[in-house]
A and B are shown apart, each in its own frame.
Chain A
């Protein structure tokens, strides 16, 4: 792999996970917050909306799931080495 390629890879992964995931989290926060209702900064009062609230929670769970999967992906060789369990049997081996 050439340098440019690996730098590009890190940049793409970085943008996806480092800026994309926070954006999803922020989206979750918006949904959760407006789903909870209450008084907005301009003084208007919104009714709670359970659908939006659960959408927000679902987005949070999605973010957590991506993070946990990513950590396991990095650990996979160590896990294979010590426990002999391959967590990603369908992915190509290095």
Chain B
């Protein structure tokens, strides 16, 4: 029971990192074009994520059934080959893989996919515990891998068409009125993206908590028919909303300033494309990465505007991060599982093993947070000029200040 509580807390912590990692998907362009003040933007996004989380449970269903094979596909009961304690450790280790990868990419300001971090962690832990039979390969290919490749491409295409059309249609409109009109359009579409992020990503955590409760027998397997208990939906909604409000300024900066220099018509087209794609795939139960869609759309808005410049070096670095996200989080997940399992077999207590990996998680998270504080990116310097020579997410002034002696840096 203690393990279950720890696990739910960890799942909510993942949801929280998911929120602040992905604020940028919705709000980066609005912040970059000045359509919204940074603080207002994250508050709006936080509230809408909260609301969005209540909208649907399709994706949560996908998470409980399509990643790991712990349930009997017909009855929804736990498979006889897995006992509850192993099942919990797998999920626990998977979450740890997801959180650590999320924090690491946030530290470098890379908008990697929180969903892939989570799935990677779960797959890794599942492989470590059950071997290849424990993973639902066809489910993963169909609902995770294929959308992962397709989503950014579709998003890029749609956003490029949208941007081109929007510029083409409004080319005769007064500059001032165009800016103003699209600024409103941008706020509306960015809000939609935040809403869709809530429906898509909060559900992933709901799915994980549901999976844990199914494992311990607190919940029957048929999430689709019976819905989820209200407290799961509520706590996940709250966690993702809070996380979004805290704001992952580093990621916002990369998306809004690093990739392309954005004008409000571009931001508008990019957000519209993201919202349309995320919402339609949420409805279809596809657990695609909101990050991939948002990044693809922003790239597309750069491709679609004649004469716009795309920083392909930054885009390339992101693409690399995307490729390694699944395996990297998987490795962390597998290591955590093995560690916990080893401690369990030595000490004879499942709590000792799971408790140890929990403590390691807390320690490493704190360390990365501390590292980020050293060269802080926040709502004040999120729009500082992008440094083309280093392509680093940390603004040049902050890096200078950090190098200077301690007493001046402390002021």
Residues of A participating in the B interface, judged by any CB pair closer than 8 Å: 3, 6-7, 9-11, 13-19, 21-23, 25-27, 29-30, 32-34, 36, 38-41, 67, 70-71, 73-75, 77-78, 81-82
Contact = CB atoms under 8 A, between A and B. Distances in A.
B14 interface: no
Contacts of A41: 174-175
Given A10-B154, A19-B158, A40-B174, 17 more contacts: A11-B157, A13-B276, A14-B155, A14-B276, A14-B277, A15-B161, A17-B275, A19-B165, A22-B162, A22-B272, A25-B185, A27-B169, A29-B178, A30-B170, A30-B173, A33-B178, A74-B282
26 contacts: A3-B142, A6-B286, A7-B147, A9-B284, A10-B154, A10-B281, A14-B280, A18-B272, A19-B162, A21-B272, A22-B185, A22-B189, A23-B169, A29-B181, A30-B169, A34-B173, A38-B174, A67-B192, A73-B283, A74-B279, A74-B282, A74-B283, A77-B57, A78-B54, A78-B56, A78-B227
Interface string B264-285: 0100110011111101111110
Contact of B158 (A18, A32, A73, A78): A18
B57 A78 contact: yes
B199 A23 contact: no
Contacts of B182: 29
Interface string B253-268: 0000000000001001
Interface in B304-345: none
A19 B56 contact: no
Per DSSP, are chain B's interface residues mostly helix, strand or loop, or mixed? helix
Interface in B184-225: 185, 188-189, 192, 195, 199
A18 B283 contact: no
9 nearest A-B residue pairs (beta carbon)? A18-B276, A18-B273, A17-B276, A19-B162, A26-B169, A19-B161, A18-B158, A13-B280, A23-B165
